[in-house]
Structure 1
């Protein structure tokens, strides 16, 4: 195969991909995409969205009765800690959207999880 044949083959495959991409883009309902995008933006601006997300993450945390498979206890503990921290961040986001006082005792555990024990100790918060 010559260089010219190789270049011709590469160009054909490139243009074939472009025409396939154009065809796929032409079939997209852009009004529906815009509608869904705006729905997602508005949902993310609501505290209820973040509270629900926190509940989903809490529900996903490992339980003592779960089958661990090949995962070690340390791996399960790390996964649990990540899920707990993510849930705390979601609750903090909801509190911020509600304009709650993050320095209150009600949010102390979540703030401690998000910022670390040292940050809350500096603020005089109970962790």
Structure 2
């Protein structure tokens, strides 16, 4: 295991390569990679840090964008992190006459099933 090879693996992980792609890029087998991870704690730690790098950088970019006043990014984050208060999902209740109906009850009433993916 050379420093150059380790850097190639880190580069791959930092660019969202999966393990197979990283190994191909570095010119080693997956078995070799897994063996090194198992046998070398420092190597394993470096690979884990590299694997989380892109996500960490994306979080920084998003936070900086929000701090700069980007309303769309702020909404996006709230819709995902505070779903109860900010989700754009809509719940629809149907009332027929004075009675609320569930989807299953409506299916039974009309003897039908909902279409999936636009197909009949």
Calculate the TM-score normalised by the size of structure 1. Answer: 0.29
- By relative contact order (CA 8 Å, sep 6+), the higher-ranking structure is 1
Higher helix share: 1
Greater share of strand: 2
- TM-score, normalised with respect to structure 2: 0.30
